[in-house]
Structure 1
Amino acid sequence: MRVHEEVSDEMEEEEAADAPDQLAFSPPPAAAAVQRLVVGYALTKKKVKSFLQPKLLALARKKGIHFVSIDETRPLPEQGPFDIILHKLTNKEWQQVLEDYREEHPEVTVLDPPNAIQHLHNRQSMLQEVADLSLSNVYGEVCTPRQLVIMKDPLSIPDAVANAGLTLPLVAKPLVVDGTSKSHELSLAYVETSLSMLDPPLVLQEFVNHGGIVFKVYVVGETIRVVRRFSLPDVNIYDLENNDGIFRFPRVSCATNNAEDAEIDPCIAELPPRPLLEKLGRELRRRLV
């Protein structure tokens, strides 16, 4: 705004003509504060160490995202407030705490709701959703191996496998995925006599040679990320004839078994077509929510 003295109109006009404009500035408004988003996390120590890396925390802070540890020994309503709760605990007590909290605080996003992940805890029901899909198209086909669920009595497994018409070798997986290391342990049974050595409850699946590589597909919204992981090696006739029956494997497809930089046959390591992955991701998200 122009600054004027209380003078005659003539002097004012003269000065206004000869002198440069004098402007009075107000301080610029403060920059809009970044919206603060509080993420409460309830994770195992191992998950905290692997997930909450300094680089991630620094990037999150720049975006206004703050991670806050949830104390499981204290009532959840007394902590926070939270915008999001991120958890990776599976015990029944914690599941009930979360369900009660969601009823009282529907505005808080829980990743993932207990009722949504129960479906994925059971390998039988989880794989069935894939088997029920119809994704055959020009980009490829998604298939599932034939499987059999054994709840108890390992001595009955050979007869059950024969009655189901399954073909050896078979992959044995614990039926329930509960977040423990044991739930990720696999066994590969080569001969019939080894089947009674397995430990129910479990899922038996026909083994399909796949080049020793598995593709893990991560879907967040519309974003898809595919990574290669080393998997169980292919089975050949020599293995079947010269093995006493069963191999036990620890966690097979974890991040430490990254195959991204390995020298792999391009035909084996070729990524699945993205249109097929996008359709698969959409369909599974719809079915598993």
Structure 2
Amino acid sequence: MRMQEEICCKIDEERTENEIVSFHQPQKKLVVVGYALTSKKTKSFLQPKLEGLARNKGISFVAIDPHRPLSDQGPFDIVLQKLTGKEWRQILEDYRGTHPEVTVLDPPDAIQHLHNRQSMLQCVADMNLSNAYGKVGVPRQLVIEKDASSIPEVVNNAGLTLPLVAKPLVNDGSAKSHELSLAYDQYSLKKLEPPLVLQEFVNHGGVLFKVYIVGEAIKVVRRFSLPDVTKQELSKSAGVFRFPRVSCAAASADDADLDPSVGELPPRPLLERLAKELRRRLGLRLFNLDIIREHGTRDHFYVIDINYFPGLGKMPEYEHIFTDFLLTLVQSQCKKKPC
């Protein structure tokens, strides 16, 4: 009987010690990500596989009501947003001022920089990136604010070569802002609708590279694009041909039997240098680039578009890449201020 009492007493002591140890063990912090997205963006981004993986990693996505004060919601570790409008931008700026401990993806002023196709590509042009792995630039381009009738003369004075790709000057993420036109002759230029950007069309084998940048991670996929234009076709063609959102609507070219000179991905070291510079210059951590290789070259590339928080749902393994990115952000927050 006494032996049984001693055994029970020992068990109780061990249980008490275990409870004390368990009590003092730090609980894994839940990472709360508030998101302010359109319903369309929410549906394409917050897919069940992403939410399931996030839960397993201790990440919770919480919808933000943009019509209520942000400070009354949360608390959040990260705010993920892609809404537009001056009022929303001001709400975010005020929130960043009063909650510096919260990471906002991404600052509204930095995103606004990408809403204008002229300023969007200027940082790439200023970079003049060239090294042993290749050269990255932007097509020659011209901004037309108004007066379509003067476009032929302005284009001629600027020395731009036909055909020209016409894109809306404002890139606000809407379907209309991604509509392209290809103008083959001087007369057809008058049919375009300013404000717009005119870019020289660069033959690129009908393939473009979508380069997704999520923090430090870089993922590249191939997409079919506009076909090359030969001199013979140019001499016979006339008018303006309109296209929908080419890079998004086009089918993946990753599994296509492509000529290596067309389908070979841009060199990784070149992309890493480009991504690092753009992160610094743009102040963004979540964006993508549309890049083409000039046909007939191996190492001459052009950035033709930059988009904030693109359709990540079309990026292979985006769930793992994005959740790892969120956890990295929180870890960097903890280094600045203990969690």
Quick check: TM above 0.5? yes
Partner of 2:245: helix, strand, or coil?
coil
Q: Aligned partners of 2:249, 2:241: CA distance in 1, in Å? A: 22
Alignment partner, residue 198 of structure 1: 192
Q: Aligned partners of 1:146, 1:226: CA distance in 2, in Å? A: 24
The C-alpha deviation readout for 1:209-230, integer Å capped at 9, x for no partner, is 0011111112233321111112
From 140, 146, 158, the equivalent of 2:140 is 146
Partner of 1:141: helix, strand, or coil?
strand
Specify the code of the residue in structure 1 equivalent to 2:14.
Answer: F
Alignment partner, residue 60 of structure 1: 54
Structure number, greater radius of gyration = 1
Specify the code of the residue in structure 1 equivalent to 2:225.
Answer: S
TM-score by length of 2: 0.76
Alignment partner, residue 249 of structure 1: 243
8 Å CA contact retained: 1:139, 1:276: yes
Alignment partner, residue 25 of structure 1: 14
Q: Aligned partners of 1:145, 1:123: CA distance in 2, in Å? A: 12
Alignment partner, residue 83 of structure 1: 77
Q: Is 2:206 the partner of 1:212? A: yes
8 Å CA contact retained: 2:167, 2:198: yes
Alignment partner, residue 12 of structure 1: none
Report the CA distance between 1:256 and its aligned residue: 5.5
The C-alpha deviation readout for 1:136-194, integer Å capped at 9, x for no partner, is 22111112111100000111100100010000000011111111111111111111111
Specify the code of the residue in structure 2 equivalent to 1:25.
Answer: E
Q: Aligned partners of 1:109, 1:203: CA distance in 2, in Å? A: 33
Q: Which runs of 5+ in 1 are unaligned?
A: 7-21
Q: Is 2:34 the partner of 1:40? A: yes
From 121, 125, 133, the equivalent of 2:115 is 121
Moved more, 249-258 or 268-277: 249-258
Q: Which has the higher strand share?
A: 2
Partner of 2:60: helix, strand, or coil?
strand
The C-alpha deviation readout for 1:80-114, integer Å capped at 9, x for no partner, is 11111111112222111111111121111110111
Relative to structure 1, is the Cα distance of residues 5 and 205 closer, same or farther in structure 2, using a 3 angstrom cutoff? Answer: closer
Specify the code of the residue in structure 2 equivalent to 1:108.
Answer: V
Partner of 1:148: helix, strand, or coil?
strand
- Identical aligned residues as a percent: 68
- Which one has more relative contact order, counting CA pairs under 8 Å at least 6 apart? 2
8 Å CA contact retained: 2:185, 2:238: yes
Q: Aligned partners of 1:258, 1:284: CA distance in 2, in Å? A: 25
Partner of 1:149: helix, strand, or coil?
strand
Alignment partner, residue 237 of structure 1: 231
Q: Aligned partners of 1:241, 1:52: CA distance in 2, in Å? A: 48
Report the CA distance between 1:127 and its aligned residue: 0.9
Number of aligned positions between the proteins: 273
Q: Aligned partners of 2:225, 2:62: CA distance in 1, in Å? A: 35
Q: Aligned partners of 1:64, 1:109: CA distance in 2, in Å? A: 17
TM-score by length of 1: 0.88
Partner of 2:130: helix, strand, or coil?
coil
Alignment partner, residue 95 of structure 1: 89
Partner of 2:135: helix, strand, or coil?
coil
Report the CA distance between 1:265 and its aligned residue: 1.5
Partner of 2:149: helix, strand, or coil?
helix
